[in-house]
Structure 1
Amino acid sequence: MADRVLGQLSLADGLAASDETIFDLVSKELDWAPIRTLLGQRSGPGSGNTSYPAEPLVRCLLLGMWHGLSDPALEAQIRDRLSFRRFAGFSLSDRTPDHSTLWRFREELTRERLIDKVFEEINRQLEEKGLIVKRGTLVDATFLQARGRPPKQPKKGHQGPVKPSADKDARWGKKGKKSTFGYKMHIGVDQEHTLIRRVEASDASVTDTEPADQLICGDEKAAYGDQAYYTHARHARLAAANIKDRLMRRPNKHHPELPPRHKLRNRLIAKVRAAVERPFAVFKERYGMRRLRFFNLTTNRTQCILAACAYNLRTMIGVLYPPDERRT
């Protein structure tokens, strides 16, 4: 059975047309045909209700990311807002998906790791547009709080099992004096426009340096990171790949005090790598990701990659259509 047909415009749709929005610019600049091919058809063989095609549902999830909406809130906004309908491909007469449909589709993206393919295709198109320059990759990680509360600490004299957290994948992580129960998001961004090239998620107990090699693409000219990322082995791997090591040096037991030249080097690197904080600020301030919404690592990973897709698309529009030149 074929997926249901959407977006057949009527006279009412033409009369309801509004000014061009950022969503329209995303639709115009991104070639959605390869993404449709990657996602494939959702309706199975045989009789029964037709399914929503995958592309409109991906567009819906992107709208939810850009506005920090839960699935029920996203359902309401898609139903009521003309700009949302137009971006997702729904006419005024089309029935829009409910929150359970959005939830199930996110699980499809998680189960089959289709979201990874969507992210890779978006980045391929960004590279074709010349937006990914490969002059340098900035790597960093940030804590994201778990949806579930941490395990309860046993009271003095308590006997028996401790009540576990509802989120069995979350763990404690510590940076300085601050501890966080939850997850970590690890990213590698292109130096030119802070477009995210690599993204991974882990529980909060994983150190920053463990997934670092996966964040370096291998085709950049330099890799930038703070002191947590420097090791002699990584320095050797970067040198072998002809990638300049721009990882900040740190003192150790043999050299408890950095020499002045390394302190100066660290300050110069810090000015460049500071740009990697911009995506994290967007995720937490605009996308509502200070606390994750799901109770397992795999679905939270999908949400992190969706956030990276949403961030890259909005950044693309910011570069191609500077605000002072954009028609509002």
Structure 2
Amino acid sequence: MVERKVGQMSLADSLVRKSRSSILDEVGAVVDWAPLRSLLGKRGGDGAGNSSYPAEVLLRCLLAGIWHNLSDPALEAAIADRLSFRRFVGLSLHDRTPDHTTLWRFRQELAKDGLIEKIFEEINRQFEAKHLILKQGTLVDASLIPARARPPRKASKEREETPPKPSVDPDAKWGKKGKKSVYGYKIHTGVDAGHTIIRRIHMTDASVTDTKPADRLFCGDEKAVYGDQAYYTHRRHARLKKTGIKDRLMHRANKHHALTARQKQLNKLIAKVRAEVERPYAVLKEQYGLRRMRFFNYTRNKVQVVLACCAYNLRRVAGILSSPRERHACG
């Protein structure tokens, strides 16, 4: 299977491309795509066979689908119909549009060998090189996302011999936050306090406590770490102090010690700073369709979550650079 050549522009393409730019054009310009192409590699060999789309084209397709909260069939239709989509993904007017099964298969390819995580890291590496990640502090938080599948059904009380019906998604688990129980997954993030760019992303089933994977969310180069009471432990406090990172995790009372007036005041100040961590979750859930998981297992859902974080960071940086003051500050 050979990699098909796309994006060869005709006179008609050149005339169409003179139309005004869209937000997709702005987002596409915030990163250098060459290192991403190198990471993705070629999808086809040199032999005969059906041609395959370049990986960069398909990655751009999936990102466009996330920004517009589209299913794969709807994304296929949008790419075929909208000039801004074709321009962003790199297809000319006469190129064939990738169908939804091609997009589905490529999403599975991103799960292999940690490829999607490498893409996320490369995008952030470029933002760090441009001084868009300020490292003044990391905001840590977690959020429950319900599974697409229904939870397993309990055995009937009337018929005890009837076994419980398992869920279609065997990787999801029950989790609880406050009084709310959710069958699904949990997203854990470490967010740069300056521009709310997501620097660390970790996904677990919903049963995992917020504090268990917390150390994976710290980057080691930030000046402080901010989080709610769920993250505070004496051991973590000592570890942060040893590495020279300020502990701004909210204190919590226990049955032996109530919070002092100073700790209560400090918690209020921390809460004001860490509140910004809600911005990425609001975008992921309200705009990118992550109010509920899209697929029926951990691996496919993880790819979608990390892709959504890539999409968020790209869109966030495009917004930052559109501000004259921020553009001047970043040189």
Superposition TM-score tier, normalisation by shorter sequence: over 0.9
Read off the aligned partner of 1:3 and give its amino acid letter: E
Q: Are residues 325 and 175 of structure 1, via their aligned partners in 2, closer, same or farther at CA, if it must alter by over 3 Å? A: closer
Read off the aligned partner of 2:215 and give its amino acid letter: D
Read off the aligned partner of 2:221 and give its amino acid letter: D
Match of 2:235 in 1: 233
Match of 2:130 in 1: 129
Match of 2:21 in 1: 20
Match of 1:177 in 2: 179
SS at match of 1:68: coil
SS at match of 2:111: helix
SS at match of 1:13: helix
Q: What is the Cα deviation at residue 325 of structure 1?
A: 11
Match of 2:105 in 1: 104
Give runs of aligned pairs for residues 1-328 of structure 1, distance below 5 A: 2-17=2-17, 18-157=19-158, 158-255=160-257, 257-322=258-323
The alignment's C-alpha RMSD in Å is 1.5
Higher mean alpha-carbon deviation, 3-12 vs 131-140, is at 3-12
Q: What is the Cα deviation at residue 16 of structure 1?
A: 1.8
**What is the rounded CA distance, in whole Å, between the counterparts of 1:27 and 1:62 in structure 2?**
10
Q: What is the Cα deviation at residue 153 of structure 1?
A: 2.1
Q: Are the counterparts in 1 of residues 320 and 326 from structure 2 also a CA contact under 8 Å? A: no
Read off the aligned partner of 1:214 and give its amino acid letter: R
SS at match of 1:112: helix
Deviation sequence 1:122-158 (CA, Å, 0-9, x none): 0011011110010000000001110100011222132
**What is the rounded CA distance, in whole Å, between the counterparts of 1:291 and 1:27 in structure 2?**
27
Q: What is the Cα deviation at residue 324 of structure 1?
A: 11
Read off the aligned partner of 1:308 and give its amino acid letter: C
**What is the rounded CA distance, in whole Å, between the counterparts of 2:216 and 2:104 in structure 1?**
29
- TM-score relative to the length of structure 1: 0.96
**What is the rounded CA distance, in whole Å, between the counterparts of 1:50 and 1:323 in structure 2?**
44
Question: Where in structure 2 are there 5+ consecutive unaligned residues?
Answer: none
Q: Percent identity?
A: 65
Question: Where in structure 1 are there 5+ consecutive unaligned residues?
Answer: none
4+ residue runs over 3 A deviation: 323-326
Q: Are the counterparts in 1 of residues 30 and 314 from structure 2 also a CA contact under 8 Å? A: no
Q: What is the Cα deviation at residue 2 of structure 1?
A: 4.1
**What is the rounded CA distance, in whole Å, between the counterparts of 1:271 and 1:319 in structure 2?**
21
